[in-house]
Structure 1
């Protein structure tokens, strides 16, 4: 069982990144207080077979056992660290923008990574802030950032402003998506009770359709007060004026008579008055 503190996985150059492994190796050596004489052995014993053969070829004709830790690291740095162009790295930085679905935190972290090899020096924070703000697409976050004073705004403050604006926007979206129920009060004869307010489509349907019992548009046939009457012409459940078996001329003349025989309508039958046609004597 290993007596070392922590865990250091083997380095395979076909899979792993040398720069990341080197950083972890440095921390591992520091944590376990490994002596200078043993550091090269720790490095070589944490290489995969392919990586071991690679470094052996890189130091040839010198033997691996004769190389110090510093020499081995230098050889690997030269081999795995690509030659970089500052202008190329800066071009990637300046052209960067926030991707769809990328969180604000991810956008800020990616931007920091792009600036690693740009050699911005003392201007790093200002350039990070500018690219961070300008990388947003049109929206609440960008509008809010544009209101800030560029003379005093730092990269950290810009990140905080964008995060707060995004949280506020998401909160408003949640509120809008909450269902709203409206209840209208409708009093009926004999009692009053709250009923659900009819939708516009239902109101429109009532206006468009005429009751087949009395002919009005204010209700449906199943709710008509005259639905239990018997037509004098055909015996059906409707007023005489709505009977399809009667001629139009006969129906007009029979309006008042049909309603007069309705025991439910009474003298003040508003529905019938609307449809009756009265002729001068």
Structure 2
């Protein structure tokens, strides 16, 4: 064995593929110019114990030493080559898809291996090309291949296009990963502008009488609008909110200094005077929502009901109009009368 060129290793029938070992054995014999009467000995010396026992059982009742090389190879090939179904092999070929991390060249090579026993004949090249393109994952490579002309596209050309698209995608990903991120004061100002604008924050804070910061017990300043820390009044998101206690815009009720005053619920968006913060009876906007008239008489119309002339108040949207049964019998109530 020391005079032989190369090494094919020992064949294990439980771990290795006989077809691959046989092919390597043929090349080993050819490379070392092994004579015909020595070929069988070379094969037997490259079998492990389990494989040697199998070869002896396959040629029984003949002695293993009396069998020729061609007879021994045929017996082993018949044993290791199972009966195949062409349609089953084709089903594996058609169902194959490219793996998530499989390269284009590995995908093409795997397809060729799946097509070995499919017996496609003259249609092999076309089917390999179609399966290579249609089995690609959704992405830049597949989009680029779909743009190609099917009449002129071959498998080798499709593989080249897919490799180019993959290289371009990897280059773009590397550039995005290495691109530095800059943050400047102008960027921070732009971000605060999107949250409402620093210029309008001063006006809102002054309107609420809360332009200064409120200090905590430990001395760390807090926002006078919401009472939270880590920001000032100019960047507070609640600067346009109206207090639920005093009705003044520019701070929340948790920091309100007028918690003993009346709520200005009906003051809408008007800015109240200082004298109105504790009293809302003279607010014109509140009078709109009042159930009773304050400074003017109700609008009345004379309406004839069943021959009786009644003076009725103009309905401004009430769902029901009530009439006294003393004035109009038997009518007690008329729904949506006006």
TM-score, normalising length: structure 1:
0.68
- Name the residue aligned to 1:101: 101
CA separation in 2, counterparts of 1:92 and 1:121?
17
Is the Cα–Cα contact under 8 Å of residues 145 and 158 in structure 2 kept in the other structure?
yes
1:1-281 to 2 correspondence within 5 Å? 2-182=2-182, 197-198=187-188, 204=195, 207=198, 212=212, 220=232
- Name the residue aligned to 1:187: none
**Corresponding pairs, count:** 219
Give CA deviations for 1:119-157 in whole Å, capped at 9, x if unaligned: 112221111000000101322211111111111111000
Q: Which runs of 5+ in 2 are unaligned?
A: 206-210, 215-222, 226-230, 234-256, 258-273, 275-338
Is the Cα–Cα contact under 8 Å of residues 11 and 47 in structure 1 kept in the other structure?
yes
CA separation in 1, counterparts of 2:182 and 2:57?
80
Is the Cα–Cα contact under 8 Å of residues 89 and 117 in structure 1 kept in the other structure?
yes
Is the Cα–Cα contact under 8 Å of residues 44 and 52 in structure 1 kept in the other structure?
yes
How far does residue 177 in structure 1 lie from its aligned partner after superposition?
2.7
Is the Cα–Cα contact under 8 Å of residues 182 and 196 in structure 1 kept in the other structure?
no
CA separation in 1, counterparts of 2:106 and 2:177?
27
How far does residue 220 in structure 1 lie from its aligned partner after superposition?
5.0
Give CA deviations for 1:85-129 in whole Å, capped at 9, x if unaligned: 111111111111112222212211111110011111222111100
User: Whose Rg is larger?
Assistant: 2
CA separation in 2, counterparts of 1:216 and 1:179?
40
Identify if the C-alpha distance between structure 1 residues 199 and 31 changes in structure 2 by more than 3 Å, giving closer, same or farther. farther
Give CA deviations for 1:251-276 in whole Å, capped at 9, x if unaligned: x9xxxxxxxxxxxxxxxxxxxxxxxx
Greater percentage in helix: 1
Is the Cα–Cα contact under 8 Å of residues 100 and 137 in structure 2 kept in the other structure?
no
CA separation in 1, counterparts of 2:93 and 2:46?
35
How far does residue 3 in structure 1 lie from its aligned partner after superposition?
1.3
Is the Cα–Cα contact under 8 Å of residues 182 and 197 in structure 1 kept in the other structure?
no
Is the Cα–Cα contact under 8 Å of residues 11 and 51 in structure 1 kept in the other structure?
yes
Is the Cα–Cα contact under 8 Å of residues 206 and 220 in structure 1 kept in the other structure?
no
Is the Cα–Cα contact under 8 Å of residues 108 and 159 in structure 2 kept in the other structure?
yes
Q: Which has the higher contact order (CA 8 A, sep 6+)?
A: 1
Is the Cα–Cα contact under 8 Å of residues 8 and 28 in structure 1 kept in the other structure?
yes
Identify if the C-alpha distance between structure 1 residues 42 and 196 changes in structure 2 by more than 3 Å, giving closer, same or farther. farther
CA separation in 1, counterparts of 2:77 and 2:171?
49
Secondary structure class of the residue paired with 1:10: coil
Q: Which runs of 5+ in 1 are unaligned?
A: 185-194, 222-243, 245-251, 253-281
TM-score, normalising length: structure 2:
0.57
- Name the residue aligned to 1:247: none
